[in-house]
Amino acid sequence: MNDHPKTGSKSEREAFYDKIDGDNLTPLWEVMSDIITPEPKSGVMPYLWEFAPTKKFLMEAGELITAKEAERRVLILENPGLRGTSQITTSLYAGLQLVLPGEVAPAHRHSQSALRFVMDGGGAHTTVGGEKTQMHVGDFVITPPMAWHDHGNESADPMIWLDGLDIPMLSLYDASFAEPFSADEQPVGRETGDSLARFGANMLPVDFEKEKMASPIFNYPYERSRASLDRMERQEEWDPCHGLKLRYINPVDGGFAMPTIATFLQLLPKDFSTAPYRSTDATIFTAVEGHGQSIIDGQTFNWGPKDIFVVPSWKWVTHETEKGAVLFSFSDRAAQSKLGFWREDRQKN
């Protein structure tokens, strides 16, 4: 018996591949190392967007098109490794949105989850599911899937916030739906602060039943979140990789505030350098307070307030600051954790 069966020559194999190609077949053994990789492999690149020059472009856009014409006047933060895809990472979209004084960004809804992190200005509002909330710098605001939402600015100053959506995830599953409202603004049926009063005090209405995966709170005010970090800072229980890092949660079940996107706020103390850290969730950061630098996959990025930078999946990152800083971040960790994909790795300093 021949223990070594005959195999085809290179030319015979190539002829076979050409033959089956016509029936839309591909040999796994030719592509396996590309599609099942030993470690995460991505085209996402580390990158930093400075807020000041980006704001100038955004204000220039404000002179070219109205919020109503554009529906959403946004400059997409497109990763340099993913140009032409409208993606900041392989699973997430991000952009900076501008609403000028007196403008309304018309009401609509879509199956994508969305977050707003307020970057600049004050006095504008967003209405989600019939409840209006004022937006202040540092506030984290949620738009759950298929919730009606519109934005308006009744102040005298331009309003800019960071948008984060799971658009690429919905596109992957071919599950995107969107529709406009019948008017520019939806009716307001709840008092401002209603959801925070009902769900933000470690209590729930007695007959509340969970129907949706997103948090019933849709505005997490920065003032409250920052106060939590201040209180924890007194204990000096610094995580070597994160400083003090809190995650925004859904008060109903203690899970992430959004079904697919995880959001965080972290404090880096004075003269602090984090230990090297990497995880499978590519992460978008913005500096809320302070200055510092992050070393991502060997590249150094210096950042200050309102600058935005991205850390790709499974790339080592360290953060350093002399005078202290606060960072907001978001990633697809919520989705990865539910699916059992998420992994982290830490090194000691």
Q: Quick one: which of 282, 215, 270, 262 has its CA closest to 244?
A: 270
| pLDDT value for 333 | 98
Mean pLDDT by 10 residues, the chain (349 residues): 72 96 96 94 97 98 94 97 98 97 95 97 91 94 95 94 98 96 91 88 85 89 96 92 97 95 98 98 98 98 98 98 98 98 91
Unique residue bearing structure tokens 């000028």: 100
Where do the domains of the chain lie? Answer: 47-346
- The confidence score (pLDDT) of residue 5 equals 67
pLDDT, position 310? 98
pTM of the model: 0.94
Q: Which residues pair with 180 in a beta bridge?
A: 108
Tell me phi and psi for residue 153, to 5 degrees: -130, 105
Torsion angle in degrees (nearest 10) through CA of 51, 261, 335, 218: 180
pLDDT of residue 3: 63
User: Which residue has 């340099």 as its token pair?
Assistant: 80
Between CA 168 and CA 112 the distance in angstroms is 9
Question: 47-346 adopts what CATH topology?
Answer: Jelly Rolls (2.60.120)
Confidence (pLDDT) at 8:
83
As given in the structure block, the two tokens for residue 222 are 């920065």
